Structure 1
């Protein structure tokens, strides 16, 4: 059994992660912590194989815990689960040896994929005393390549603005929004926002419905799709 600790300050997100984890065979939840201060004694007093780690937390953040773990030479593996989708955070997570990086919000399928991939890799490593180059490429190099090689954005779109737009979409949860509404929240023009909304719709990260009011033109309202975070991952994490 892979003994796992969830470190997440948001009770709702922590509970979702717990429910997802309990659906997975071969994983055992050791404890849940809402802060670095709560997590450290848990890690010291228990055998832990894997941490599902949030980054943005009050006081010390997830980077502090990860740095502490690596500084002690601990062999605990970490899957980062965070809303931080900027390039610097992705690279920092990889430098600290995170085995996967999930961007909130995500669906069970992405969570399942991360844990199954981790489980499969651990089994292959434990079963073999030595790895050949092909095995190494599949277990390590290809894994990292997934995060460092992305797709090119259409002309006129920037990764920095796209990240801001997607972060705002995440904050709105399942609440529908118009192009004008999200443009105001992000702080860019409605014309520019139309380009980002169109792009997100084209890659199936957003779905759009036409809402008719009492008078005037219909309004197009948008929502993030279930697979939105996975779709956009290829564009912002390179």
Structure 2
């Protein structure tokens, strides 16, 4: 299990990132902190494998924290997740050893791809003492992307395929979790996981529908039936 620390001064963003990470199998968020000083205090006595690090923070910023981590000589990898999109910050982060750089706002698919690539390289390093150039290129340069990528925990590829097929048959009509669960033949609780996943990758939209009688209810609607990113999951 890859142990993760999230460092972001915005509690809402930190929680958002935590939920995203926990959708990916093989990762566990051990700590969520909101300042570099908090992170350093924990890292002084505890070990983590991966930091998800913001740059813009009061006090010690993310790049300064990254430098201090390198000076600690600990085997900690860093993925920068920040709104900073200027070339200077990006260049510095990469020079200081960040393994990836994600610009806010981002979709789940981008973080999932970063974590999957990191996990692939980590597993490769653990399993083999010597690596070929092709193996390194696949993990580091992303020259050969797989036709499908890792799905979040609790999501089955076959069920996702059936769900997506049913959604497209509705021709962008509204549907509830319960309705789609009946179409596919799984429980409402299970179906909610699939629909929320499709919403997170930008395929569905959740809207409040007002009927003529009774309370309004939330229903999903397909907003991108030709979304190419979903093909990577099917």
Q: TM-score range by the shorter chain?
A: 0.5 to 0.7
Q: How does 1:154-165 map to 2 (within 5 A)?
A: none
Q: What is the CA–CA distance in structure 2 between the aligned matches of 1:18 and 1:136, rounded to whole Å?
A: 28
Q: How does 1:89-104 map to 2 (within 5 A)?
A: 89-104=89-104
- Give secondary structure in 2 for the equivalent of 1:45: coil
| Alignment of 1:118 onto 2:118 | yes
Q: What is the CA–CA distance in structure 1 between the aligned matches of 2:64 and 2:49, rounded to whole Å?
A: 18
- Give secondary structure in 2 for the equivalent of 1:122: helix
Counterpart residue number, 2:8 = 8
Runs of 4+ in 1 over 4 A off after TM superposition: none
Counterpart residue number, 1:28 = 28
Q: What is the CA–CA distance in structure 2 between the aligned matches of 1:137 and 1:120, rounded to whole Å?
A: 12
Report the Cα offset of residue 44 of structure 1. 1.8
Q: How does 1:82-231 map to 2 (within 5 A)?
A: 82-140=82-140, 142=141
Tell me which of the two structures has the higher relative contact order, counting C-alpha pairs closer than 8 angstroms and 6 or more residues apart.
Answer: 1
Q: What is the CA–CA distance in structure 2 between the aligned matches of 1:132 and 1:108, rounded to whole Å?
A: 30
Report the Cα offset of residue 137 of structure 1. 3.1
Q: What is the CA–CA distance in structure 2 between the aligned matches of 1:127 and 1:72, rounded to whole Å?
A: 26
Q: What is the CA–CA distance in structure 2 between the aligned matches of 1:12 and 1:115, rounded to whole Å?
A: 21
Report the Cα offset of residue 34 of structure 1. 0.5
Counterpart residue number, 2:59 = 59
Q: Which one has a larger percent helix, Structure 1 or Structure 2?
A: 1
Q: What is the CA–CA distance in structure 1 between the aligned matches of 2:42 and 2:127, rounded to whole Å?
A: 29
Q: What is the CA–CA distance in structure 1 between the aligned matches of 2:122 and 2:41, rounded to whole Å?
A: 25
Instruction: Write the deviation string for residues 164-216 of structure 1: whole angstroms up to 9, x where unpaired.
Output: xxxxxxxxxxxxxxxxxxxxxxxxxxxxxxxxxxxxxxxxxxxxxxxxxxxxx
Counterpart residue number, 1:74 = 74
Report the Cα offset of residue 90 of structure 1. 1.2
- Specify every segment of 5 or more residues in structure 1 that has no aligned partner in the other structure, as ranges: 145-224, 227-238
Calculate the TM-score normalised by the size of structure 1.
Answer: 0.58
- Give secondary structure in 2 for the equivalent of 1:3: strand
Calculate the TM-score normalised by the size of structure 2.
Answer: 0.59
Q: What is the CA–CA distance in structure 1 between the aligned matches of 2:61 and 2:86, rounded to whole Å?
A: 16
- Give secondary structure in 2 for the equivalent of 1:123: helix
Counterpart residue number, 1:48 = 48
Q: What is the CA–CA distance in structure 2 between the aligned matches of 1:19 and 1:124, rounded to whole Å?
A: 26
- Specify every segment of 5 or more residues in structure 2 that has no aligned partner in the other structure, as ranges: 144-222, 225-234
- How many equivalent pairs are there? 145
